């Protein structure tokens, strides 16, 4: 029952289960052993053994409801909403224990290291880091970079079930697992719930279920067969490519000067200036929305600073491990931090109170810039020590063919690290980063 315990403990406490009604239909459908787990006395199917693993699902599990969540504020059109499936906890547990791990292992065998979506151990942070450092190295060696951004419109909703099953058969997934997925998608019926009203039951002919534990893994296997609805082209180069275009199947790709990739702005100059300014404004906007709380004098300043660190700072710090910080941007970060503290205390700049005095009143030190430094340096050590990041190691430590141009080099991601740690040699920096104890001391004493 170890697997069951691990899965149960991974769920949120408020979901900690009363499965009696949900699972009774399954027990009646196929007589299998069940046991009582922990203090919740929850009946759980003992489905660890392959002989006990059914290949069909009860009818109740094939019926579900979809709810709509807006992707953006004030959404009006259907495409601006995301549909999420509401599933029974018993069904989630069954799929988690019975199928998910085996599919995930098979999926990891098929996917390239450059796939960062819906995979264990990697996320948008790794994708942003990889593209930032790689393009910087190419520009440093005067190599042109051509980026093609493919936007899968309603990607989860466009998965063809026949093609998905064929892919699962080709990768050698167990027959019983495939039959369960066949039942899950080919026999499913659903209602759509909007404002507490539900539609009649309809058959779902395509798409994977957003909200199902299997969907991200199934989508990763299928994603290469999805037709791209929108494709954008960006050229990063020191040369003139104003008249450059790419045509695919008689379709001219739209060329853009900037593009929002994984929530971060990329541009043709390949500078972090716009992204840092945007992050500051996003954090400032959220601060304004929470001003009634953050600037409420009836609340202790210690509580308000904790709220600031919990709700405002993370907005700015998203993806900071991939940023390249120049001197003028450093000043902007410090100014934003002090502006937040001054607004919380109601101190105008006209009162001529120094930043030191403001920090003393809130009982804080400047932390935003230092947090960016520590996250970047610690992330370098994390990448170089972890076996999972073979591609990222190659990007950081590898060399790009070419020759550097004349003049002063543009400040890069690695230049930030060398400057903050005081280690001029990249080879020495990489050697030190592989020693966790030494590198931790170095991170704690950054300049």
Q: Using one digit for the tens of pLDDT, what is the confidence trace for 344-379?
A: 999 988 888 999 999 999 999 999 999 999 999 999
Domain membership flag for residue 371: no
- The arithmetic mean of pLDDT across residues 249-259, rounded, is 86
pLDDT band at 214 (very low <50, low <70, confident <90, very high): confident
Domain membership flag for residue 205: yes
- How many whole angstroms separate alpha carbon 235 and alpha carbon 268? 6
Domain membership flag for residue 258: no
pLDDT at 18 over 70: no
pLDDT at 130 over 90: yes
- The arithmetic mean of pLDDT across residues 88-111, rounded, is 77
Domain membership flag for residue 151: no
pLDDT of residue 49: 47
pLDDT band at 399 (very low <50, low <70, confident <90, very high): very high
pLDDT of residue 19: 45
pLDDT of residue 4: 60
Residue 56: phi and psi, rounded to 5, are -125, 160
Helix (H, G, I), strand (E, B) or coil at 160: strand
pLDDT of residue 23: 42
Same domain membership, residue 100 and residue 44: no
- How many whole angstroms separate alpha carbon 136 and alpha carbon 411? 9
Same domain membership, residue 320 and residue 205: no
Same domain membership, residue 288 and residue 218: no
Same domain membership, residue 318 and residue 208: no
Q: Using one digit for the tens of pLDDT, what is the confidence trace for 177-202?
A: 888 888 888 888 888 888 888 888 88
235: alpha, beta or left? (left if phi > 0; alpha if psi -120 to 50): beta
Residue 362: phi and psi, rounded to 5, are -90, -5
Same domain membership, residue 283 and residue 188: no
Positive/negative CA dihedral, 359, 362, 365, 370? negative
Same domain membership, residue 188 and residue 89: yes
Instruction: With CA atoms as reference, report the closest residue to 279 among 325, 311, 309, 318.
Output: 318
Domain membership flag for residue 372: no
Q: How many CB atoms lie within 10 A of CB 217?
A: 23
Instruction: Please tell me the least confidently modeled range out of 35-44, 228-237, 267-276.
Output: 35-44
Q: Which string of b and e fits 403-430 if b means at least 16 CB within 10 Å?
A: eeeeeeebbbbbbbbeebbebeeeeebb
Instruction: Please tell me the least confidently modeled range out of 211-220, 230-239, 255-264, 313-322.
Output: 211-220
pLDDT of residue 33: 36
Share of the chain above pLDDT 70, in %: 85
pLDDT band at 332 (very low <50, low <70, confident <90, very high): very high
pLDDT of residue 409: 85
pLDDT band at 7 (very low <50, low <70, confident <90, very high): low
Same domain membership, residue 196 and residue 114: yes
Residue 79: phi and psi, rounded to 5, are -70, -10
Same domain membership, residue 209 and residue 66: yes
Residues 6+ apart with CB under 8 A from 380: 396, 417, 429, 433
pLDDT at 84 over 90: no
Same domain membership, residue 110 and residue 7: no
Share of the chain above pLDDT 90, in %: 40
- The arithmetic mean of pLDDT across residues 197-223, rounded, is 82
Helix (H, G, I), strand (E, B) or coil at 210: strand
pLDDT of residue 11: 56
The pTM (predicted TM-score) of the whole model is 0.78
Q: How many CB atoms lie within 10 A of CB 230?
A: 11
pLDDT of residue 44: 44
Instruction: Please tell me the least confidently modeled range out of 48-57, 152-161, 209-218.
Output: 48-57
From 207, 225, 243, give the residue that closes a domain.
Answer: 225
Instruction: With CA atoms as reference, report the closest residue to 217 among 163, 168, 151, 184.
Output: 168
Same domain membership, residue 355 and residue 430: no
pLDDT at 227 over 60: no
Domain membership flag for residue 130: no
- How many whole angstroms separate alpha carbon 203 and alpha carbon 207? 12
Domain encompassing residue 389: 377-393+407-444
Domain membership flag for residue 411: yes
Q: Using one digit for the tens of pLDDT, what is the confidence trace for 25-81?
A: 444 434 343 443 443 334 444 444 444 555 667 777 888 888 888 877 788 887 788
pLDDT at 427 over 70: yes
Helix (H, G, I), strand (E, B) or coil at 443: helix
Instruction: Please give the mean pLDDT across all residues of the chain.
Output: 82
CB 258 within 8 Å of CB 267 = yes
Our measurement of the distance from residue 228's CA atom to the centroid of its chain's CA atoms, rounded to an integer in Å, reads 21
Domain membership flag for residue 250: no
Same domain membership, residue 106 and residue 61: yes
Domain count, the chain: 4
Cα 54 to Cα 101, 201, 360: the distances in Å are: 16, 26, 65
Same domain membership, residue 304 and residue 183: no
User: DSSP code of 53?
Assistant: -
From 10, 26, 51, give the residue that closes a domain.
Answer: 51
């Amino acid at each position: 029952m170890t697997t069951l315990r691990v899965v149960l403990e991974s769920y949120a406490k408020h979901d900690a289960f009363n499965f009696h009604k949900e699972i009774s239909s399954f027990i009646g459908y196929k007589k299998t052993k069940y046991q009582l787990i922990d203090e919740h006395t929850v009946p759980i199917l003992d489905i660890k053994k392959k002989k006990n693993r059914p290949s069909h699902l009860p009818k109740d599990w094939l019926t579900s409801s979809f709810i709509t969540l807006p992707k953006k504020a004030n959404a009006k059109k259907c495409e601006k909403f995301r549909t999420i499936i509401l599933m029974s906890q018993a069904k989630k547990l069954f799929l988690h224990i019975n199928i998910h791990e085996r599919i995930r292992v098979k999926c990891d065998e098929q996917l390239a290291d450059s796939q960062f979506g819906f995979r264990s151990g990697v996320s948008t942070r790794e994708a942003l880091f990889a593209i930032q450092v790689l393009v910087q190295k190419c520009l440093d060696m005067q190599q042109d970079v051509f980026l093609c951004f493919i936007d899968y419109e309603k990607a989860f909703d466009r998965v063809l079930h026949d093609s998905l099953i064929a892919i699962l058969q080709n990768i050698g997934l167990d027959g019983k697992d495939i039959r369960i997925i066949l039942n899950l998608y080919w026999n499913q019926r659903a209602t759509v719930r909007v404002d507490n009203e539900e539609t009649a039951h309809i058959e779902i002919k395509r798409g994977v279920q957003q909200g199902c534990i299997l969907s991200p893994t199934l989508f990763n296997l299928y994603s290469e067969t999805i037709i791209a609805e929108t494709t954008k082209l960006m050229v990063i180069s020191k040369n003139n490519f104003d008249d450059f275009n790419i045509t695919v199947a008689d379709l001219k790709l739209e060329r853009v000067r900037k593009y929002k990739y994984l929530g971060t702005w990329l541009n043709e100059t390949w500078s972090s200036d716009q992204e840092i300014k945007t992050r500051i404004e996003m954090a400032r906007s959220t601060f304004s929305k929470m001003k009634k709380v953050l600037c409420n004098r009836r609340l202790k300043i210690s509580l308000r600073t904790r709220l600031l660190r919990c709700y405002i700072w993370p907005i700015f710090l998203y993806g900071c491990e991939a940023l390249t910080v120049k001197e003028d941007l450093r000043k902007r970060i410090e100014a934003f931090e002090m502006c937040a503290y001054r607004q919380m205390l109601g101190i105008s700049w006209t009162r001529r109170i120094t930043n030191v005095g403001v920090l003393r009143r809130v009982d804080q030190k400047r932390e935003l810039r230092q947090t960016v430094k520590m996250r970047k340096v610690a992330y370098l050590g994390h990448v170089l020590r972890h076996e999972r990041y073979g591609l990222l190691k190659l990007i950081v430590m590898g060399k790009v063919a070419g020759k550097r141009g004349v003049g002063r080099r543009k400040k890069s991601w690695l230049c930030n690290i060398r400057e903050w740690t005081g280690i001029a040699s990249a080879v020495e920096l990489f050697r030190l980063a592989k020693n966790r104890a030494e590198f931790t001391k170095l991170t704690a004493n950054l300049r």
